[in-house]
Amino acid sequence: MHLSTSNFERVIPTRPWRGITVTVVVMLAVSTATWEIYCRSLGYGPSLNDTGDLWAEARRRVEPESLVIVGDSRALFDSDFDELEKGLGKRPVQLAEPGSTAFPVLANVIDDTRFHGTIICSVVPRLFFAPSGSPPMNRAEKSVRRYHTQTYAQRASHGLGIYLEKCFACMKQDDLILPALLEKLPIPNRPYAQVPPPLPPYFSSLDRGRRARMVEQCAQPGKLQEKVKHRWARLFTPPPPPSFIPAEVFAKKMHDSFESRFADTKALVDKLRARGGKIVFVRFPMGGDLKTFEDQTTPRGPTWDRLLKETAAPGVYFEDFPELASFTCPEWSHLSAGDSVEFTKRLVPHLRDALAISDAARTVASMH
């Protein structure tokens, strides 16, 4: 076989490369600006995405004596950091997540043998007792997994993403990327293919500390508020039992999962208490048809009351105190930005009583 010894040379065609580059950059800038203007016209604003990377960043701030918030979106919206720091002596680390069960995060924090701080745990029974394999459990487990496996490249990408998200409204990954837009196509349910209920649209902002605030457009009566309201019932309604599992077998599996959550939570609370740590459960406000639905499907006695009894832990249920029960949730599930500050201010004395925090202890804690 004869091999050619000639050197290969790739010929670059003569083209107006500078002009092509300028044209592409201009088209990209115009397209981005057009999309950004359109997104802002829909009511979107610059806000951080609640990603696993942002959660992992918060998780790394947990120290042995930290004040940590775990749970669902009500704790995310309704907890004001400044008021909690002022009243409890420490600025909290926010680990609550929307549509998530507290249990995997609770386990992750308490299983850290160095931790002996304080946990504020929000309880929405349908989320707190969600079984393994359910979306609320999967979301929490995914965040914990991200914390353990996050690479340096992912951290760097997260840092760049934070900068862009603070500047552009069109960076909302839950609403405005192609997969999210495709999920909004009006596809009906079919045999063996049930379309999941749509998530609420954009109605809040999030900062670097994971403090969520309801946007004013949702806090005021209008189309956005009504759209968010009427999606909660569908999201809180569990799907029908699978037809391939006998009803009695499925019922037993759900009962066993429910009982297991009580036992596992008690074991975690006991472990935390043995190290000198503290925990308080909180039932944050809800209202309207959603409250009626929750009271009917997850009554207080078998869920909240039993949780406190099983764990021997203190709890604050908003309905037990007139000063906490007087707030109105505009879209039935969360407080407005202004009300969340006032609610936290009124909640703090009850947290201090539940956690047995004296003025002296609060002063010492604030010095560390």
Alpha carbon distance 35, 209 (integer Å): 28
- Range(s) of the domain holding residue 309: 62-149+210-366
Tell me the CATH number at 243: 3.40.50.1110
Residue 69 resides in a domain: yes
Q: Using one digit for the tens of pLDDT, what is the confidence trace for 255-296?
A: 888 999 999 999 999 999 999 999 999 999 999 999 999 999
CA gyration radius, the chain: 24
Of 305, 48, 52, 4, the residue nearest 155 (C-alpha): 52
Question: What's this model's pTM, rounded to 2 decimal places?
Answer: 0.84
Strands 315-317 and 278-283: parallel
The total number of structural domains that make up the chain: 1
Q: Using one digit for the tens of pLDDT, what is the confidence trace for 118-174?
A: 999 999 999 999 998 888 999 999 999 999 999 999 999 998 888 888 888 887 777
Residue 339 resides in a domain: yes
Residue 201 resides in a domain: no
Confidence of residue 251 (pLDDT cuts 50, 70, 90): confident
Name the token pair of 1. Answer: 């076989």
Q: Using one digit for the tens of pLDDT, what is the confidence trace for 105-122?
A: 999 999 999 999 999 999
Q: How far is CA 75 from CA 87, 141, 285, 366, in A?
A: 17, 18, 10, 22
Residue 112 resides in a domain: yes
Residue 194 resides in a domain: no
CA dihedral 67, 70, 72, 74 (to 10 degrees): -20
